[in-house]
Each structure stands twice: as C-alpha cells, then as structure tokens.
Amino acid sequence: MAASREFLLQLQGYGLTTAEIHYHLPDHPAFLQLYVWQDYDTAPDFPTLHGFLDYWRRELDGALHSVRVAHRRLIRPAEWRAVDGVIVIH
C-alpha cells in the first residue's frame, strides 16, 4: 500500500497552507468576495501559492484585493522539555 501524496509532501518539509483571498467582483468592483484556498506548501517562499495567484491574475477576471496566509507544518521534530522534580505514583 503506497503512502498518500499529502503524507509524502509532509515528510519533505511541506506544511498545510491556508490563504484567505479577497477579490473584487468583476461585475461589481465595489464589492469584495472571499475565496479560501488550501494546499501543502513550503514557508516562507510559498511557491505553490504564488503559482496559484499567478494563474488567478492571468486567467480570472476578479482583481485581487488582499491575501492573508496561515501555515503550519504538521510533521516536525518532537517538542519536549526537561522537568526538574519527582512524580509520586501510589
């Protein structure tokens, strides 16, 4: 059984990236619409997101207003800390 594409990307250092894309409606430029995009990408350059935004500018009519990005690596080194003390168990 082969591993999923998403799992393999996470092992290569990709994290889950979510972008809130606000854009102007082509027929009503005074109104903003929201599009939520999500894919695996690498921070801080975000080449996958930039590729999508380049496609948007080239192919779609709605002019971009703003983009807000959140990113989280789901697989990373374990986080631990040393505790100085004694744990008493009955």
Please, are residues 17 and 40 in contact by the beta-carbon 8 Å criterion?
yes
Q: Say yes or no to pLDDT of 90 above 70.
A: no
Q: Are 52 and 17 in contact (CB under 8 A)?
A: no
What mean pLDDT is reported for the chain? Answer: 90
* Predicted local confidence at residue 86, as pLDDT: 66
Work out the average pLDDT over 40-55. 96
Bridge pairing between strands 64-72 and 15-24: antiparallel
Rounded Cα gap, residues 58 and 39, in angstroms: 20
Report helix, strand or coil for 45. Answer: coil
Q: Say if pTM beats, i.e. exceeds, 0.75.
A: yes
Supply 60's token pair.
């779609």
- pLDDT, residue 48, reads 97
Answer yes or no: is pLDDT of 79 > 70. Answer: no
